[in-house]
Structure 1
Amino acid sequence: MIRLHDSHGILLDTPEDRKAALPETVCWIDLVHPTPEEELQAEKLIGVEVPSRDELRDIEPSSRLYIENGAAYLTASLVWKSETDFAEIADVGFMLAGGRLVTIRYAEPKAFSVFAANATREFSGLDGRDVLTRLIETMIDRCAEVLENRSRRIDALSTEVFSRGSVKNPEAVTRDLEATLGVIASHQRTIAKVRESLMSLSRVTGFLQTMPEMSGEKVLKQRCRAMGVDIQSLSEHADFISENIIFLLDASLGLISVQQNQVMKVLSVAAMIFLPPTFIGTVYGMNFQDMPELSQPWAYPTALAIMAASALGPYLWFKRKGWF
């Protein structure tokens, strides 16, 4: 799909004739899941080569940030599907050519839909460089929104985890905590993807400041520097959230261990309580002829009394110690 936006944010129709020239007002060409035919059409419209999907996946800095044939090529890794339990990273390509911005993407990061929805208010005679910087600002704002949302959810989860310590059913608590481990892993995955996205955007904003197209553009350079400061601040906040997640993970594992130890303690106490009666019953269960007390009428109730006393003694001692 090819989407054309003019300098006022209005969505235009794509020329059906591949030989037709682009309207002069077009400042942003958005290629969404482009087919090979649409990539070829876009190349003819802008006059420069469009990177393929495989080229967007290259991780070398020289393959993600470079200038070729008068066009600037930038690739950023953006977090998306952050509302789900399995956040992902999408590689998005940006091209600045002839005063126009071209974006190539095979995913639907929310920042693009938000930016396009506000385009008619944000655009006012802008060119491709202005659109690029404002689009990156929207991406940074989206990362901040994801971090804020995850931070609230982690705080709520932390309260829930530590409140389970008052539950007197260790087995139920252990099951709940084991299920919580998956939720914690989901939060950690999302935060890791956001950190990766911020790192990528940091490289892009740094490269923008050195581009020849930015020479003499003080406003754009100041905007790029401000974005760099925001990215640094968000990266530190992401590190802080990540540390909280690690603490929450350790705490959950510790609580699981405590609950399991509680179960083992109960079993150990029960074994110690029934060990003396078992010993007495075993002694009088031996088949020896020379056991004179077996013929006495008081032998059986006496043995039962001794067995009961030997069980009651350890029980009262453990109870006094507060072991259960």
Structure 2
Amino acid sequence: MIRLYDCHGRSLDIPPAADQPLPDDACWIDLIHPSADDETRVERLIGVEVPSRDELRDLEPSSRLYIENGAAYLTASVVWKSETDFAEITDIGFVLSGARLVTIRYAEPKAFAIFAANTAREFCGLDGRDVLTRLVEAMVDRCAEVLENRSRKIDTLSSEVFSRGSVSNPEAATRDLEATLGVIASHQRTIAKVRESLMSMARVAGFLQTLPEIAADKLLKQRCRAIAGDIQSLSEHADFISENIIFLLDASLGLISVQQNQVMKVLSVAAMVFLPPTLIGTVYGMNFQNMPELSQPWAYPVALAVMAASALGPYLWFKRKGWF
């Protein structure tokens, strides 16, 4: 799919013939899941090569940020599906050729949808350089939104974890805490993807400041510096959230261990309670000839009473100690 926008944010139609030029005010070509024909068509319209999907996946720094034939090529790793339990990273390509910007993407991050929905308000006689810096700014803002949402969810989860640790049913609390480990892992995965995205965009923001067409514009250069500062602040915030997640994970594992130890304590106390009666019953179950109590009529009830006393004694002592 090919979407074309002019400098005022209005959607334009792609020229039907390959030999027809783009309108003079066309500044942004957005390729979404482009086919080979779409890439070839755009290459003919702008006169520069459009990177393929395999080229976008190249992890070499020299293949992600470079200038070729007068056009700047940038690849940014952007987080998406952050509302789900399985956040992912997608590579988005940017080609800045003169006053026109081409974006190549095989996913639909929310930042692009928000930016495209606000094109009429965002665009006001802009060119490809402005669109590029504003797009990067929108992606950074989206990362900030994801971090804030996850931070609130982690705070809520923290309250739930410590309240579960104080319930009277240890088995139910342990099951709830074990289920919470999966939620914590989901939060950690999302934060890790956001940190990866911020690191990628930090390189993009630094590279933008070196481009002559942006360095010559004071406003664009200041915007790139502001973006770099925002990325630094968000990276520190992501580190803080990650530390909170680690603490929450340790606390959950600790509470699970406490609950399991409580169960083991009850089993140990029960074993100690029944150990003395078992000993007495074992002694009187022996077939010795000289056991005078066996011939007495009161022997059986006395043996039962001794067994009950030997069981009740340890129980009361453990309860007094608070172990039961």
Scaled by the length of structure 2, the TM-score of the pair is 0.99
Instruction: Flag as ranges the 4+ runs of structure 1 deviating above 6 A.
Output: none
Q: Distance in 2 between matches of 1:45 and 1:285?
A: 100
2:40 is matched by which residue type in structure 1?
Answer: L
1:7 is matched with 7
2:270 is matched with 270
1:109 is matched with 109
1:125 is matched with 125
* Residue 168 of structure 2 is aligned to residue 145 of structure 1: no
2:99 is matched by which residue type in structure 1?
Answer: G
Q: Distance in 2 between matches of 1:14 and 1:218?
A: 33
Q: Distance in 1 between matches of 2:227 and 2:2?
A: 28
Matches within 5 A, 1:185-200: 185-200=185-200
| Superposed CA offset, 1:144-170 (max 9, x none) | 000000000000000000011221111
1:237 is matched by which residue type in structure 2?
Answer: H
1:106 is matched by which residue type in structure 2?
Answer: Y
2:301 is matched with 301
Q: Distance in 1 between matches of 2:279 and 2:19?
A: 99
1:31 is matched with 31
| Superposed CA offset, 1:233-273 (max 9, x none) | 00000000000000000000000000000000000000000
1:215 offset after TM fit, Å? 3.3
Alpha carbon RMSD of aligned pairs, Å? 0.7
Matches within 5 A, 1:42-61: 42-61=42-61
Q: Distance in 2 between matches of 1:225 and 1:268?
A: 64
Q: Distance in 1 between matches of 2:145 and 2:220?
A: 24
| Superposed CA offset, 1:128-185 (max 9, x none) | 0000001111111100000000000000000000011221111000000000000000
1:98 offset after TM fit, Å? 2.5
Unaligned runs of at least 5 residues, structure 1: none
2:297 is matched by which residue type in structure 1?
Answer: P
1:219 offset after TM fit, Å? 0.7
The percentage of aligned residue pairs carrying the same residue is 81
Q: Distance in 2 between matches of 1:65 and 1:215?
A: 16
* Residue 229 of structure 2 is aligned to residue 229 of structure 1: yes
Q: Distance in 1 between matches of 2:302 and 2:137?
A: 87
2:41 is matched with 41
* Residue 252 of structure 2 is aligned to residue 248 of structure 1: no
1:99 offset after TM fit, Å? 1.1
2:246 is matched by which residue type in structure 1?
Answer: I
| Superposed CA offset, 1:73-106 (max 9, x none) | 0000000000000000000000100310000000
| Superposed CA offset, 1:208-231 (max 9, x none) | 000122232111000000111000
For residue 210 of structure 1, give the secondary structure of its aligned residue in structure 2.
coil
**Higher mean Cα deviation, 82-91 or 12-21?**
12-21
| Superposed CA offset, 1:5-39 (max 9, x none) | 10000111222222221111110000000001111
Scaled by the length of structure 1, the TM-score of the pair is 0.99
Q: Distance in 2 between matches of 1:165 and 1:184?
A: 16
1:4 offset after TM fit, Å? 0.1
2:151 is matched by which residue type in structure 1?
Answer: S
For residue 168 of structure 1, give the secondary structure of its aligned residue in structure 2.
coil
1:251 is matched by which residue type in structure 2?
Answer: A
1:191 offset after TM fit, Å? 0.3
1:286 offset after TM fit, Å? 1.2
Q: Distance in 2 between matches of 1:286 and 1:17?
A: 106
**Higher mean Cα deviation, 93-102 or 209-218?**
209-218
2:22 is matched by which residue type in structure 1?
Answer: L
For residue 58 of structure 1, give the secondary structure of its aligned residue in structure 2.
coil
For residue 165 of structure 2, give the secondary structure of its aligned residue in structure 1.
helix
Q: Distance in 2 between matches of 1:259 and 1:166?
A: 10
Q: Distance in 1 between matches of 2:7 and 2:171?
A: 63
Unaligned runs of at least 5 residues, structure 2: none
1:239 is matched with 239
1:59 offset after TM fit, Å? 1.1
2:63 is matched by which residue type in structure 1?
Answer: S
1:114 offset after TM fit, Å? 0.2
1:291 offset after TM fit, Å? 1.2
For residue 49 of structure 2, give the secondary structure of its aligned residue in structure 1.
coil
